Structure 1
Amino acid sequence: MNAPEPVRQIAHVPERHDAALWQEGLRTGLPSLFGIAAWGLVVGIAMVKTGLTPLQACGMTLLVFAGSAQLASLPLILAHAPVWVIFATAMVVNLRFVIFSALLAPHFSHLPWRQRLLYGFISGDMTVAMFLQRFPTAAPVPGKLSYLKGLVLPNWAAWQAGSLIGIFVGSAIPAEWGLGFAGTLAILCITVPLVASSAALCGVLVAAAVSVLAHGAPYKLGLLAAVLAGMLAALAAEAMIEQRKARHG
């Protein structure tokens, strides 16, 4: 028995709404996809030029969706550092994702844990920021998940495409070209624009000083110490700046 015409029309409204928000998410994230692919390309080249085989590099890019953590772990892997040191360094570098997870959790707490795990894994810095700009509160709004999919799925695909191209292009480029420094250059290109405040500059300077002083530490632990010191210094500087503003406010 066919449903009445009004019922059929109402049944299609949520689907159209989800499709519209998916397309909106795609349009919002589209301008950043070229940059994400280029960043993945650089990381892919850096992985094979610092000693990983193409197969190992492909495994890393598919399992570790975090360019900064990948680059931070490469020198530790080459130095044969203990696994716990490599994991600890990657976790410290990616502590910001704990904050991202806390910000996204109220929006998707109703989803099964498998879906939350999947979308959390393929979410990135830019996509989380874009989503929270579109939905700043956790109020229930139909189509939130579709909007998130429109952001994160193309973003993840662009990263993987760029990274895989970088891996296979990098493996074909002669070592004499000296592209092993590509990872360091990529980190500098990402870091410099982020130093937009006094607190961030303080963190960078402290991290740089600690990394130089602890350069001879075993298992490249100086890198981990520098990251921790820089984060703590930035937080302390931010707290002092806020206190000063409060006193003069």
Structure 2
Amino acid sequence: MFLKRIYREHPEYRLGLQHQATVAMGIAAWGLMTGVAMVKSGLSPLEASLMTLLVYAGSAQLAAIPLLGAGAPIWVILATAFCVNLRFIVFSVHLRPHMMHLPRWERLVTGYLTGDLTYVYFARRYPHAPQNEAQQVAQHAYLAGNCAINYGAWMVSSLLGVALANVIPTAWGLGFAGILALLGVGCSLVTSRLRAVSAGVAASAAVVAYALPLKLNILVAIASAVAICLVLEATGKTGPHEEARHV
């Protein structure tokens, strides 16, 4: 995607690079911590490296790591990763009008490379689908620039974390740093009343169900937040088109 010359030579590509570069240090810190956490949890450097290259989903990796270390059943690990990544279904629905003219292989690559912050930046700059070929190229060039920085920062830092895992002391508190990174990303996405309610419900449910084994409180939190949001949307309590204004 970001290797295509038509995108790299477009002015929007450079703008995408600039915008995503503002959060590159945060992404790198998160990636470094995730790389260290994978090895500290018992994965070999090869396994951790393959997980980084193939999965490329920080929150899902962080959710799966303690379950792998605890020897949880595979269905629990897969269900947890699936639930953590449910937000990408919403991203895909919103991006569909922007991407359906692309060949399938390019849509698949774009889906793999698009992360939380690349989606946020793209949705802010291009809230509407392209109307002509020039707009299509501009939009994809901007997204390619976003993804290039995001992918590079994550991969380099995560693989560096894997390489340095046995050198970096656990006492540095990298796990807590990861929690702070996730909170920062989460708080930046709370841009409406409905999202604030869902965040509050998920946090409360996770704390209430903390005693459940195998980190199942995560599943309870996600299910509770989704359920309450569906009820609020069905009853019209969130206000008309509120979510659409904040996408």
Q: TM-score, normalised by structure 2?
A: 0.78
User: How many residues in Structure 1 have an aligned counterpart in Structure 2?
Assistant: 231
Compute the displacement of 1:198 (Å): 5.2
Percent of counterpart pairs with the same letter? 44
Change (3 A) 1:98 1:233: same
Are 1:112 and 2:99 counterparts? no
Deviation track 1:130-171 (CA, whole Å, cap 9, x = no partner) reads 223332222224223222212212211111111112222222
Query: Which structure has the bigger radius of gyration?
Result: 1
Residue correspondence of structure 1 range 221-232 to structure 2 within 5 A: 221-232=216-227
Which of 147, 150, 155 does residue 145 from structure 2 map onto? Answer: 150
Change (3 A) 1:140 1:88: farther
The farther-off stretch of 205-214 and 83-92 is 205-214
Deviation track 1:77-115 (CA, whole Å, cap 9, x = no partner) reads 122222222111111111111111122222221222111
Compute the displacement of 1:201 (Å): 4.7
Partner of 1:166: 161
CA contact (8 A) 1:49 1:180 kept: no
CA contact (8 A) 1:49 1:179 kept: no
The farther-off stretch of 94-103 and 225-234 is 225-234
CA contact (8 A) 2:63 2:80 kept: yes
Partner of 2:42: 51
CA contact (8 A) 1:82 1:219 kept: no
Q: Distance in 2 between matches of 1:97 and 1:37?
A: 21
CA contact (8 A) 2:16 2:145 kept: yes
Partner of 2:239: 242
Residue correspondence of structure 1 range 126-141 to structure 2 within 5 A: 126-138=117-129, 139-141=131-133
Change (3 A) 1:111 1:55: same
Compute the displacement of 1:75 (Å): 1.9
CA contact (8 A) 2:10 2:141 kept: yes
Compute the displacement of 1:118 (Å): 0.6
Q: Runs of 5+ in structure 1 lacking a partner? A: 1-13
Q: Runs of 5+ in structure 2 lacking a partner? A: 243-247
Which of 70, 81, 95 does residue 79 from structure 1 map onto? Answer: 70
Q: Distance in 1 between matches of 2:68 and 2:7?
A: 48
Partner of 2:245: none
Q: Distance in 2 between matches of 1:116 and 1:16?
A: 15
Are 1:19 and 2:13 counterparts? no
Deviation track 1:32-83 (CA, whole Å, cap 9, x = no partner) reads 2222212212222222233333222212211122211111112221222222
Q: Distance in 1 between matches of 2:238 and 2:93?
A: 25
Q: Distance in 1 between matches of 2:151 and 2:7?
A: 24
Q: Distance in 1 between matches of 2:75 and 2:205?
A: 21
Compute the displacement of 1:120 (Å): 0.9
Change (3 A) 1:154 1:226: same
Compute the displacement of 1:16 (Å): 9.4
**C-alpha RMSD of the superposition:** 2.9
Which of 25, 32, 52 does residue 41 from structure 1 map onto? Answer: 32
Paired residue type of 2:181: A
